[in-house]
């Protein structure tokens, strides 16, 4: 598995299969735009297939705070430690930042606790008609 902290060399065709379970997922082109516009990305790439198989993003003010909106590993690549590696690499990238926040479902609380994160409350608003992105 190859890990990289940029979108260099990434084409939309390499970004197929993400946003699992989303009724109206963003297209691979929109996914690439999302990666490009993020403050920090880490990608896991299967060199055998030249396919991105996992990604994590952060958006940050570069001073005090960062938010991690996305972490996903393709279903067929789960439970091999790829998610863990992506989180570790992102935490290393954000090591100088005071606040690192994310929201997750209850079942993932133990997962993120392993990285030293603590449980807090989150508040959400969703414009479902915009789920494919802009």
Ligand X SMILES: CC(C)(COP(=O)(O)OP(=O)(O)OC[C@H]1O[C@@H](n2cnc3c(N)ncnc32)[C@H](O)[C@@H]1OP(=O)(O)O)[C@@H](O)C(=O)NCCC(=O)NCCS
Question: Among residue numbers 12 through 71, which ones bind ligand X (CB under 6 A)?
Answer: 71
Residue 79 as a binder of ligand X (CB under 6 A): the answer is yes
Site pattern 101..120 for ligand X (x: CB under 6 A): -x-x--xx--x---------
Assess contact for 64 and 98: CB atoms under 8 A.
Answer: yes
Tell me whether residue 96 is exposed, middle or buried, using C-beta atoms within 10 angstroms of its C-beta: 0 to 12, 13 to 18, 19 or more.
exposed
Q: How far is the CB of 106 from ligand X (least distance, A)?
A: 9
Q: How far is the CB of 15 from ligand X (least distance, A)?
A: 14
Q: How far is the CB of 94 from ligand X (least distance, A)?
A: 16
How does DSSP assign 15-76, residue by residue?
Answer: --S-STT-SSPPPHHHHHHHHHHSSEEEEEEETTTTEEEEEEEEEE-SSSEEEEEEEEE-GG
Residue 88 as a binder of ligand X (CB under 6 A): the answer is no
Structure tokens at 112: 């993120």
Q: How far is the CB of 90 from ligand X (least distance, A)?
A: 12
Q: Under the rule (CB under 6 A), what is the footprint of ligand X?
A: 71-73, 78-84, 102, 104, 107-108, 111
């Amino acid at each position: 598995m190859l890990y990289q902290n940029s979108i260099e060399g990434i084409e939309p065709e390499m970004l197929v299969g993400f946003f699992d379970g989303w009724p109206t997922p963003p297209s691979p082109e929109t996914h690439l735009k999302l990666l490009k516009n993020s403050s920090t990305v880490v990608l896991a790439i299967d060199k055998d297939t030249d396919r991105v198989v996992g990604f994590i993003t952060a958006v940050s003010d570069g001073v005090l705070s960062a938010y991690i909106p996305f972490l996903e590993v393709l279903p067929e690549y789960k439970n091999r430690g790829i998610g863990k590696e992506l989180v570790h690499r992102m935490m290393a990238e954000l090591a100088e930042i005071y606040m690192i926040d994310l929201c997750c479902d209850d079942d993932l609380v133990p997962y993120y606790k392993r990285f030293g994160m603590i449980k807090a409350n989150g508040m959400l608003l969703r414009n479902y008609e915009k789920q494919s992105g802009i």
